[in-house]
């Protein structure tokens, strides 16, 4: 694993954008696995600037998002499809038909989950999978539970996730209770994983993910079994991890 410890959120975002753009330059038709949430907003903003400047193009890139709330239409301003359009896709030269997000309105979620897994398989899995990290150690919406779930599936969101995401909704009561999420199978099949984390409230989750036991009660801990993980965090998020003398950070 490579760890980059950056001074703050801006530097973290720039480093993550740098690693993603390097992938796009290296392989213009790469498959990017993408995340939503607060953490990647700065990364997407930086990529938009470089793309607009003509440094590289997303024209041949294909993307697959990690997750979507169940029951929200793509036009709902809290849906993850809407988030991706507003924060990224509408501002770059990616082809709309090459962007994929699970369908939160699917009448038959089993069919939709199977379709999504097949889609990712047919694209050859992600070349680079971007991940944020839940305070409870979730990745995508793979919530802490008794086993790692391999396939795309419907998940009941935990109270911790509902509370964390309530800031985006009028009230906690408006946060959907379920989501469709890529399982750890597709995440782990990505050739490279880039996990970004910012802020002190992520310090425990970062520590548990990389220094704790591999345990589905901390879903991100499965990343310890992947052979190409890059962790980019700001000082606050990495504070507990880097206090461990055995952990070395890239210069």
**Per-residue contact string for residues 140-159; x = within reach of ligand F6R by CB under 6 A:** x-------------------
Per CB under 6 A, which region of 24-32, 35-43, 98-106, 228-236 contacts ligand F6R?
35-43
Active site (annotated) includes residue 136: yes
Cβ distance to ligand F6R smaller for residue 39 or 98 = 39
Active site (annotated) includes residue 226: no
35 binding ligand F6R? (CB under 6 A): yes
In the complex, least distance from residue 173 CB atom to ligand F6R, rounded to whole angstroms: 19
In the complex, least distance from residue 55 CB atom to ligand F6R, rounded to whole angstroms: 25
Active site (annotated) includes residue 67: yes
Q: Considering only residues 62 through 81, tell me which ones interact with ligand F6R, judged by CB under 6 A.
A: 66-67
Residue of 6, 23, 67, 127 with catalytic role: 67
179 binding ligand F6R? (CB under 6 A): no
Q: Which residue is nearest to ligand F6R (CB)?
A: 132
Residue of 51, 65, 98, 136 with catalytic role: 136
Contacts of residue 220, Cβ cutoff 8 Å, sequence gap at least 6: 131, 133, 137, 138, 139, 195, 205, 208, 209
Closest of 60, 52, 48, 131 to residue 88, by C-alpha: 48
139 binding ligand F6R? (CB under 6 A): yes
Q: Can you tell me which of 62, 100, 138, 240 binds ligand F6R, judged by CB under 6 A?
A: 138
Interacting residue ranges for ligand F6R, rule: CB under 6 A: 35-39, 66-67, 132-134, 138-140
Active site residues: 67, 136, 138, 143
């Amino acid at each position: 694993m490579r760890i980059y410890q950056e001074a703050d959120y801006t530097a973290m975002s720039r480093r993550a954008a740098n690693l993603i753009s390097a992938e796009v330059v290296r392989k213009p038709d790469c498959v990017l696995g993408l995340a939503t949430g607060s953490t990647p907003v700065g990364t997407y903003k930086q990529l938009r600037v470089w793309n607009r400047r003509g440094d590289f193009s997303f024209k041949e890139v294909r993307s697959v998002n990690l997750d979507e709330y169940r029951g929200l239409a793509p036009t709902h301003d809290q849906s993850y499809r809407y988030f991706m359009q507003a924060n990224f896709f509408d501002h770059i030269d990616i082809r709309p038909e090459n962007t994929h997000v699970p369908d939160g309105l699917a009448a038959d979620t089993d069919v939709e989950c199977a379709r999504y897994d097949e889609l990712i398989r047919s694209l050859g899995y992600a070349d680079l999978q971007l991940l944020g990290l839940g305070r409870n150690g979730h990745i995508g919406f793979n919530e802490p539970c008794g086993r790692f779930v391999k396939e795309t599936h419907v998940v009941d969101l935990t109270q911790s996730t509902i509370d964390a995401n309530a800031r985006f909704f009028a009230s906690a009561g408006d946060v959907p209770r379920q989501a469709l999420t890529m399982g750890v199978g597709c995440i782990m099949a990505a050739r490279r994983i880039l996990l970004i984390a910012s802020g002190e409230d992520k310090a425990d989750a970062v520590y548990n993910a990389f220094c704790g036991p591999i345990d589905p009660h901390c879903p991100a801990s499965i990343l310890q079994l992947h052979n190409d993980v890059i962790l980019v965090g700001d000082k606050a998020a990495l504070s507990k991890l880097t206090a461990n003398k055995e952990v070395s950070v890239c210069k």
